[in-house]
Amino acid sequence: MAKKTSVAYDEKAIQTLDPLQHIRLRTGMYIGRIGDGSNPNDGIYVLIKEVIDNAIDEFIMGAGKKVEITFDGETVSVRDFGRGIPLGKVVDCVSKINTGGKYNDDVFQFSVGLNGVGTKAVNALSQHFEVCSWRDGKYKRATFTQGKITNEQGGKASDPNGTLVSFRPDPEIFPKIKWNEDYIRRRLRYYAYLNAGLTLIFNGERLVSKDGLADLLREELGEEETIYPIFHHREERLEFAFTHTGNYGETYYSFVNGQYTNDGGTHQSAFREGVLKGVNEFAKKNFAGEDVRDGLIGAVAIKMQDPVFESQTKNKLGSTEVRSWIVDAVKKAVVVWMHRNKADAERLLEKVRSNERIRTELASIKKQAKERAKKVAIRIPKLTDCKVHLGDKDSRAEDTTIFLTEGDSAGGAMTQSRDVYTQAIFALKGKPLNCHGMKLDAVYKNEELYNIMRALGIEDGISGLRYNKVVIATDADVDGMHIRNLLLTYFLRYFEDLVVHGHVFILETPLYRVRNKQETVYCYSEQEGHDAQKRIKNHEITRFKGLGEISPREFGQFIGDDIRLVPVDLGSLGEVAKALEFYMGNNTPERRTFIENNLIADIA
């Protein structure tokens, strides 16, 4: 029987919020997750992006070739040298929803911003917000607090035309802020790659690109060897670049109007199809898509009016009308390039034929692995699944997580304290196989690695991924670190795209519990432990060696609302290859020397 409520539902219960108040109350609707700055998708980076997007729009429209971004503590400033906001509309453009020039396609043809929402959201969510516009010898400046105007002035000025926006995120919305400059620098590099001729200055560092997406791939590849030189094509509304490496899987970087769509979308699918059709037309063959694309690393950027995204934060393009023209344009460009570069074309085709042979050889091994798995159990061993999965229409699908845990004891504790709708547990039997340097058949021949792949749903690529987050949860000791590295090697070796697109995380769990009768503090580092012991009187301290030592009641808070996840972030694919070779390769003497030298330095 439903419990009766004493709260009256009458006219007084109906509220009308000011639009900026609504942004503060329903922040996630406008900027996605709030976070603390430890994840590149956290809200504070969305705020920066919205301001910089406006500056990029000016460059796209041919006004201003330089954007300056500076940090002063928690305050961010962005100065462009475009046309400047019309002085009579400066206040409205940053404080009134559905106000802006981006509704006029003649003024902004290929906008990357949020069409009248972006700077308003930044303003509403800032403790301090300032905007200044310079146009033809005059200026207008306004300051705000939490979206409410506090000062307005204007007059004559000698500054060059353009707009300055400065803001400091409001601690009421963002109680913990720690900027990661590497995340910001990466986004700025993307802007440079997508806008040849634009100069971005980040705290004095100049970022500029001449070859666009080809430069992006060169940086991502680093010293990684390619099968043939990068093919780069650019036209008015489409730019793409690609090459093949000896790696497994496919890796893509896709953009719409300068927005990085890390979940891809219709433009990325069309690009993939165009490459396949181009190769097949040139070769007069009917190669399978997986054979043409295995080992491919590519980037594609399009410009279009009124793009439709599948979320407010624009991670995935949903517009279907772009498909046909992208497929045709990519196919045509690929065919022309292959005819003009016969040696490179032959290297590409040899890679495709090699992929085809490997796939044929793997077919029987895959069949054996599937038959073996069926004999063992109907369900995937050691997997405690959740009720919602990525791809479901359920609103919780984006929250789905699978924890790869170290052993049954940790898995048991997590199973009892998890959210059964969105959190799944896969308990590892022991240390996984070190698969560095091994071929793909190793995954199917090794029972543990094969079951991980089945649990994630990635047997046929990450398009079948069943969870949004893949979290490695191991003990905070040497063995735990080793298992973590083995799992990362597995993902980076065979499912690189899983990491590139931000699906892999490390779970932080406490090292110590410091408590007395009045207070309990969980400490995630040695320093936090020392600080807690100094502050809490008459305390007792517990060192958690393994996850299995933490009770299910306690574990619930570590995988609940206060979960601490560290995203596995890649510098460049070339650097990853070097790191894996050093830490996981057959170079034990080098690693021993490295450890000895660093231990000595640490002791000294």
Place of tokens 């928690």: 74
d(C-alpha 345, C-alpha 99), whole Å: 51
Q: Are 419 and 352 contained in the same domain?
A: no
- Mean pLDDT value of segment 488-515: 89
Nearest CA to 29 out of 45, 46, 16 is that of: 46
Q: If residue 340 lies in a helix (H) or strand (E), which one and from where to where?
A: helix 323-340
**pLDDT of amino acid 189:** 92
Helices (H) and strands (E) in the chain — how many of each?
Answer: 20, 22
Q: Which pLDDT does position 99 carry in this prediction?
A: 57
Domain assignment of residue 9, yes or no: no
Based on the domain organization, do 247 and 339 belong to the same domain?
A: yes
- pLDDT class of 318 with cuts at 50, 70, 90: confident
Rounded to an integer, what distance in angstroms lies between the CA atom of residue 80 and that of residue 375? Answer: 64
Q: Residue 220 falls within a domain, yes or no?
A: yes
The pLDDT of residue 599:
61
Instruction: Let me know whether 563 and 603 are in one domain.
Output: no
State the Cα–Cα distance between residues 509 and 507, nearest whole angstrom.
Answer: 6
pLDDT digits (tens, 9 = 90+) for 331-379: 999 999 999 999 999 999 999 999 999 888 888 888 888 777 776 666 7
Q: Are residues 415 and 325 in the same domain?
A: no
Cβ contact 226:244 at 8 Å: yes
Give the per-residue pLDDT at 105. 47
Q: Last residue of some domain: 324, 359, 394?
A: 359
The secondary structure element, H or E, covering residue 97 is none
In a domain, 180, yes or no: yes
Q: How far apart are CA 507 and CA 403, in angstroms?
A: 9
The whole-angstrom separation of Cα 140 and Cα 163 is: 10
Highest mean pLDDT: which range of 140-144, 246-250, 367-371: 140-144
Per-residue model confidence (pLDDT) at position 312: 54
How many domains are contained in the chain? 5
Q: Are residues 490 and 355 in the same domain?
A: no
Model-level pTM?
A: 0.75
CATH of the domain at 175: 3.30.565.10
Q: Which two tokens stand for residue 248?
A: 């497994």
Please state, as a whole number, how many other Cβ atoms lie within 10 Å of the Cβ of residue 80: 26
For residue 536, the enclosing domain spans: 512-543
Separation of alpha carbons 178 and 187, rounded Å: 17
Q: What are 579-599's pLDDT values in tens digits?
A: 777 777 777 777 777 777 766
Residue 504 sits in the same domain as residue 516: no
Which residues, in sequence order, are CB contacts of 496 under 8 Å at separation 6+?
Answer: 247, 248, 249, 251, 573, 576
pLDDT class of 226 with cuts at 50, 70, 90: very high
Rg value, the chain, Cα: 27
Contact in structure between 564 and 507 (CB atoms under 8 Å):
yes
Coil, helix or strand for 163?
strand
Q: Per residue in 79-99, pLDDT tens?
A: 999 999 999 999 988 988 755
The predicted pLDDT at position 550 comes to: 83
In a domain, 14, yes or no: no
**Backbone region of residue 151 per phi and psi (left: phi > 0; alpha: psi in -120 to 50; beta: other values):** beta
CA 26 vs CA 37, 168, 476: distances in Å: 19, 19, 37
Q: If pLDDT is split at 50, 70 and 90, which confidence band does 231 have? A: very high
